Amino acid sequence: MLEIPFRHFTRYSEIISVFIRHGLGYWIMEQIPLPLPGFGRPMHHYSEADLARIGSRLREALTELGPTFIKMGQLASNRSDLFPQPIIRELTKLQDRIRPLSFEEVRQVIENSLQQRIDAIFQEFDPVPLAAASIGQVHRAILNNGEKVAVKVQRPHIRKVAEIDLEIFKTLVVQFEQRTEWGKRYPIRTILDEFSKTLLEELNFTNEGHNTEKLAQFNKQGVFIIPKVYWEFSNATVLTLEFISGISLYQIIEAKNSASPYVEFDLSMIAKQLSQGLLQQILVDGYFHGDPHPGNILILPEGKIALIDFGILGTITDSIRYQLTNLIDALIHGKDVRLLEVISQMGIVPESMDRAQFLEDILVLRSKHLLKSRGKKGIIEAVQDFFNIINRHGIYIPSEFVLIGKSLLTLDGILYQLDPDLSLVELVRPYSRKLLWEKYSPKHFLARILRSSKPHPSQASHNPCSFRI
């Protein structure tokens, strides 16, 4: 039985009515195997056109249901391993078209949160937001000491609404696990836990402040300008950062595409510096901007690059870096059996998976994309086709790998707009060689032996010669 707590019943009814109003009731019922004609059809049996229509209606429903659902849809749009591409394409169109908070609402949030009058903190405060999104909005201001800042203010009560929605999701997860083919193919409790963790972290602006400082700490070469955090005027619902004056990369790309580019910028140089900086974050530092779209990248008059909005921070361990390197190496060089081994290490491969068909699909992908030069558009299509194969075979990939893939795809799309002759594959190659050398170097080999020779606290005995490469 589906048991919804009474305190959630109103919100639950609202969710159901919105999905039905957008024509999604029948589709949801089709995911649940009932002894009725037409029911029980899994998602991968739909046509591309049907999935596109479902994705469009889903996007509209999520938008109407508000900030929590918009953010969850945006997070889901990163999971090409879980959802078909036509639905993914629609979810990527989700926009934070939310009514901006009034200045009085902003004032109340700031004063209640910081326990100070707004005029005691700021010499000036622009009541018109620079940007308004589902979680909060940003205002330009000047502190009483004359320093220019950007103040991010969280929407009131959004965390409470999000927590109710997440509790409803957890109740529904049990039904999806028991009744749907999708729920049986994937560890959806784990998926929901990942989504919930990411969403709740974004709702705590203190985390974003720490993310900002973490990336600044690793920005030793000064490739990027990272804003300073004003902790005395920041907490979970208000974040005050150094204001950086620049032109968003989105505006520059739009101007270039409209045949009126910003002639004062060297777009090729920007492309090289941006790619080198982000690859340094991903493949060397182990901490990277989790959402490097053009709107979060500012170009300053002297051509320097600034990053903003650090709500999502990607983290990479040495193990993940080595698995990623092995995956790329196996895919490019046709090591099919090794590829399946690496994917098994990276994610959850169902026992029922047809391994022979999986390897055949990979062979088709490689002959289509990798055995001949198809340009940068071909690289993006190859990655999308790879995730289609992952989705079709019910393989679950942890969010860390998906976030890396999404960030690299975003970067590749930016490079295509700025400098079509610049190849992300060629830019990655030196890092890949370095990682392979590091993994198989005598120093690393010895370190693995020493680590494996130490007994785990839970082990009563150990074999000092047992280790894995």
Catalytic positions, please?
291
Of 5, 9, 10, 29, residue with least CA distance to 19: 29
Q: How far apart are CA 175 and CA 8, in angstroms?
A: 17
- In the block, tokens 């894995």 appear at 468
Length of the chain: 469
DSSP string, 176-221: HHHH-HHHHHS-HHHHHHHHHHHHHHHT-HHHHHHHHHHHHHH-TT
Strands 136-143 and 313-315, how do they pair?
unpaired
Are residues 282 and 407 in contact, defined by beta-carbon separation less than 8 angstroms? Answer: yes
Q: Which two tokens stand for residue 317?
A: 């361990």
In this structure, how many other beta carbons lie within 10 angstroms of the beta carbon of residue 261?
14
| Residue 58 burial by Cβ neighbours in a 10 Å radius (0-12, 13-18, 19+) | buried
Q: Can you list the pairs that 441-449 forms with residues at least 24 positions away whose Cβ atoms lie under 8 Å?
A: 445/469
Strands 148-154 and 136-143, how do they pair?
antiparallel
Q: Can you list the pairs that 432-439 forms with residues at least 24 positions away whose Cβ atoms lie under 8 Å?
A: 432/283, 432/325, 432/328, 432/329, 435/283, 435/321, 435/322, 435/325, 436/325, 436/329, 439/322, 439/325
Are residues 383 and 404 in contact, defined by beta-carbon separation less than 8 angstroms? Answer: no
DSSP 8-state symbol, 465: T
